[in-house]
Amino acid sequence: MAALSAEKLFDLINRPGPLWLVGIDLNDANLSGANLSGANLSEATLRSARLSDANLARANLSFCDLFDAHMSWANLRDARLYFTTLTRADLEEADLRGSDLSGANLEYANLTWANLRRANLTSADLSGAKLYGANLSLSNLSGVDLREANLVGANLDEIQLRETKMVNFSRANLSARASTEPCWISP
């Protein structure tokens, strides 16, 4: 699909929603501050897109390519992001509460101070991710790969851990209510 002009993109995102944008090519698009709540963007390509401060609450972003996307301060509450590529994405201070990130690739993503409370991260790849100060309380981290991830200051209260690979829990909140299920810790 050919890239949209700025005028066509403006017209598209300002139509009454929720929008149906399945498979759309929005590489390098500037969607900062856009209201895409409830939009269906499944299988869309948004490489290096700028989505800072965008409203993507309840949006379907499953199977999307968001490699190197800029999504700081984005509202992704209750969004569907399963099997989405978020490698090297900037999600600093993003609101991901209740979102489904199962099977997502978040390698080297920046999730500093992100709110992932009650998020489903089952089998997600967070290797090398920056989770400094992130809120992961009540999240499902079963089967997650956290090798080389930075979890300094992260809130891990009442998380679910099964078959999880992880390192660097220094200064993380590991309250007595955190799951004690066996997990694999890499050297």
What is 22-187's CATH topology?
Pectate Lyase C-like (2.160.20)
- As a whole number of Å, the CA-based R_g of the chain is 16
pLDDT of res. 3 = 64
- CA dist., res. 157 & res. 155, Å (int): 6
Cα torsion angle, 49, 67, 101, 134, sign = negative
Mean predicted confidence (pLDDT) in 25-43? 95
Cα 133 → chain centroid: 15
Mean predicted confidence (pLDDT) in 14-26? 86
Q: Does residue 133 surpass a pLDDT of 90?
A: yes
Q: Residue 100: helix, strand or coil by DSSP?
A: strand
105 forms beta bridges with 85, 125
pLDDT of res. 166 = 54
Mean predicted confidence (pLDDT) in 29-56? 96
Residue whose C-alpha is closest to residue 164's, from 136, 127, 130: 127
Percent pLDDT > 70 in the chain is: 84
* Beta carbons of 12 and 33 less than 8 angstroms apart: no
- The pLDDT mean for the chain works out to 86
Mean predicted confidence (pLDDT) in 107-130? 96
For the entire predicted model, the pTM comes to 0.84
Q: Does residue 180 surpass a pLDDT of 60?
A: no
* Beta carbons of 72 and 50 less than 8 angstroms apart: no
pLDDT of res. 46 = 97
Q: Where are the domains of the chain?
A: 22-187
Q: Does residue 174 surpass a pLDDT of 70?
A: no
Q: Residue 141: helix, strand or coil by DSSP?
A: coil
Cβ-in-10-Å burial (0-12, 13-18, 19+) of 88 comes to middle
Q: Residue 165: helix, strand or coil by DSSP?
A: strand
Mean predicted confidence (pLDDT) in 98-110? 98
Residues 134-163 pLDDT 10s: 999 999 998 898 888 898 889 989 888 876
